[in-house]
Amino acid sequence: MVEAAELIDNDFLRQFELKVDNQLATIEYSLQERKIFLTKLVIPSSVENTNFKKDFLEIVFENIKERNLSLVPTSPEIAKFVRSNRKYKRMLPVGVRI
């Protein structure tokens, strides 16, 4: 299990970062008004076949939820995750469907 304490919100590079196996997993984003657009997911190949992606996305989504932001997944992988996890669909802004 990945711990939320390890998550870094790198404002300068506009990405969430999590170190795993001495490599960096990232989710790039763009922040506009009260919406956060998740644009790119990069997972190291050493953890690609584990539940790491799910854990990483859940930690990032909880961080976004705590900040009271709406979530707009523009990355196909992230959109697929939101589609398959109903509880995160409530974080989408009004009028956005995936």
pLDDT in tens, 21-65: 888 999 999 999 899 999 999 999 888 777 899 999 999 999 999
What proportion of the chain, given as a percentage, has pLDDT over 70? Answer: 95
* Residue 50 CA, distance from chain mean position: 17
Q: List the domain range (segments joined by +) for residue 53.
A: 4-89
Q: Is residue 68 part of a domain?
A: yes
Q: Is residue 20 part of a domain?
A: yes
Q: Is residue 77 part of a domain?
A: yes
Q: Which of 35, 36, 73, 78 is nearest to 54 (CA)?
A: 78
**What is the rounded average pLDDT of the residues 68-83?**
94
The beta strand positions in the chain, using DSSP E, are 8-10, 15-20, 23-32, 35-42, 70-73
pLDDT of residue 43: 93
Q: Is residue 94 part of a domain?
A: no
Domain CATH code at residue 24: 3.40.630.30
What's the total number of domains in the chain? 1
Sheet strand arrangement including 8-10 = 8-10, 15-20, 23-32, 35-42, 70-73
1 Cβ contact partners less than 8 Å away, ≥ 6 residues apart: 55
Q: Is residue 27 part of a domain?
A: yes
